[in-house]
Amino acid sequence: DQQVKQNSPSLSVQEGRISILNCDYTNSMFDYFLWYKKYPAEGPTFLISISSIKDKNEDGRFTVFLNKSAKHLSLHIVPSQPGDSAVYFCAASAAGNQFYFGTGTSLTVIP
């Protein structure tokens, strides 16, 4: 049973606009959430994380929002750039132990 879900397999956004990638989880014990970016033929690269004691974490163009009551997190990329085109995975863990990943969202930023 998938504990972390990314319901949008793909997303296309114009360059300069906002990209919003969504992720839902089912396990209320999860307290550490991460986003990874993956280019073809490369391993995932850590992007940004958030702990359950926060509802927002920002790093440059990337912001992650956490809504614990809805068991939902999102990644905002502003402004989107063509180099952001990649597959994005969200992941979650309970106390930093086993990490559970979503199925990924393929983002295409159109120049």
Partner 1 sequence: DVKVTQSSRYLVKRTGEKVFLECVQDMDHENMFWYRQDPGLGLRLIYFSYDVKMKEKGDIPEGYSVSREKKERFSLILESASTNQTSMYLCASSLTTGGYNSPLHFGNGTRLTVT
Positions touching partner 1 (CB under 8 A) are: 4, 6, 9, 31-32, 34, 36, 41-46, 49, 51, 89, 91, 95-104
What count of residues does the chain have?
111
Q: Which of 16, 8, 7, 9 is nearest to 84 (CA)?
A: 16
Choice between 32 and 62, CB closer to partner 1: 32
Choice between 33 and 85, CB closer to partner 1: 33
Q: Which of 100, 104, 84, 83 is nearest to 92 (CA)?
A: 100
Closest separation in Å from C-beta 18 to partner 1: 24
In degrees, to the nearest 5, what angle opens at C-alpha 1 toward C-alphas 100 and 49? 20
Closest separation in Å from C-beta 13 to partner 1: 22
Choice between 3 and 74, CB closer to partner 1: 3
